[in-house]
Amino acid sequence: MSIARFWRETPRRYNLGGSRCLVCSTVYFPPRSVCPSCAQHRQSIGRMEPFQLSGEGEVVTYTIVHDPADGFEMQVPYILAIVKTPEGPQLTGQVVDLDPSEARIGLRVRATFRKLREEGKAGVIHYGYKFSPFTPPEGAPRPPGPAEPSPVPVAPERSAARA
């Protein structure tokens, strides 16, 4: 990514800024300029507004990464989750400050901004969102999500190979 684009996208990246359609009220992250559900009739053109996500959510599914992508070798094992926000969008992100054995569906999390990488010794430092567990205040509503998570079966040959 070019440095100019990096700085142009800074507000959205560091604030979980999305967009909301003024026609159907659907919230998107990352932001969109046209609503996919209203686009067929062109109703949303010019009717999308900036929208700030709360950063809170609930894990709807996750995996434990043992074979990392380049640059993440020092972090394994780590938790990669899909988090459902109360506003509607589902975000993919790493869950930090939690032992991988404690990960679970339904875990309440909050976005936190952390250093992701650095371009060279004197380069641009890239920050991004990750999620950390938190306990919401008493009586706080839960974000909408699946009523009961269904377990994903693991093929016997895969589980035996790891044992």
pLDDT at 124: 77
Mean pLDDT to the nearest integer, 134-159: 54
CATH of 54-136, one of 3.40.1280.10, 1.10.10.60, 1.10.10.350, 2.40.50.840: 2.40.50.840
Whole-number mean pLDDT of the chain? 81
pLDDT above 90 (res 123): no
Token pair for residue 42? Answer: 């062109």
Among 29, 21, 63, 14, smallest CA distance to 45 is for 21
pLDDT at 79: 96
End-to-end CA distance of the chain: 41
